[in-house]
Amino acid sequence: MSERGKLRIGTRGSALALWQANAVAALLAQQGRGSELITIRTTGDRIQDRPLSEAGGKGLFVKEIEDALLAGTIDVAVHSAKDMSVAIPAGLAVAAVLPREDPRDALVLREGHPLSSAAAIGTGSVRRSAQLAVRLPGARFLPVRGNVDTRLRKLDAGEFDALILAVAGLTRLGYGARVSEAIPLDDCIPAPGQGIIAVETRADLADDRVWRAIDHAATAAAFQAERAVVEALGGGCQLPLGAIAVHEDGGVVVHAIVTSPDGRRRVRKTVRGAPDDPAGLGRRAAAELADGGAIDILNSLR
């Protein structure tokens, strides 16, 4: 901890990352715990000239922050859960997750320009373009990098006809009015962990009562189920793999999909179960995907 006894919260410097870190700081303050933010520039922030899938995946937004945790220069790391690898470094643990925001993907149109059949759509996600290629067969999906503000500026400047972004990020930054459509789960299953803010600490700090006080049980169950799908399939955050766990009628429903990058091959499964073993439910969804041919698709991409 800092000399003033405050928990040092490590975060990226983007507007969305700072919003997330401040949300955690506010919850800590409600529990009587002081904190301060420490901004860390990650490899993912520095690499802007090529898609993340070529540079090493979204884990590039996490590594330096986890290194700072392990080195003891920060006490807490705040991440977008979808950026985290399922392989958490030894000595670290996810201590809490915050209530989930809307996990769906959003279609964001350029103002005054309806979507044409040959629209140029900006997205840095193979998962999104692969699933939406079926719904928008004439569209051109083009790579786009940068934070939410940067991408919206590129859209408004006419570089794209539309963007695909997360509803959660737009909502948290006050851009909810820019959501032209929250894309139904039937059309596009989100990335595992999308809309979830995860709090990571060193293992020696993970049992602190403050984490139990701010952890959101329903979101934690979804987080565990979705990560179990990825772990069981050996996938990564840049593969065309979507998974979402939702609470329904007293149980948990997991929707999961694996597609080829062009969207022509796809395996989609839905499993239901009790909420007491979310990770087991995620593994069951992964097994059904594997039985349906998902492993062949994923192996062709590795």
Q: CA 27 to CA 213: how far, in whole Å? A: 9
Contact status, residue 9 vs residue 39, Cβ threshold 8 Å: no
Q: For residues 63 and 18, what is the distance between their CA atoms, to the nearest angstrom?
A: 17
Closest CA to 228 of 292, 287, 186, 274: 287
Question: Cα–Cα distances in Å, from 83 out to 12, 78, 302?
Answer: 12, 11, 19
Cα 168 to Cα 20, 106, 255: the distances in Å are: 11, 9, 19
Instruction: Count the alpha carbons within 13 Å of 204 in the hemisphere toward its beta carbon.
Output: 5
Would you say 32 and 26 are in contact if contact means Cβ atoms under 8 Å apart? Answer: no
Active-site residue, selected from the candidate residues 75, 83, 105, 161: 83
To the nearest 10°, report the CA torsion of 217, 219, 222, 226: -130
Task: Decide if 83 is catalytic.
Answer: yes
Alpha-carbon span 109 to 16, nearest angstrom: 21
Could you give the residue numbers annotated as active site? 83
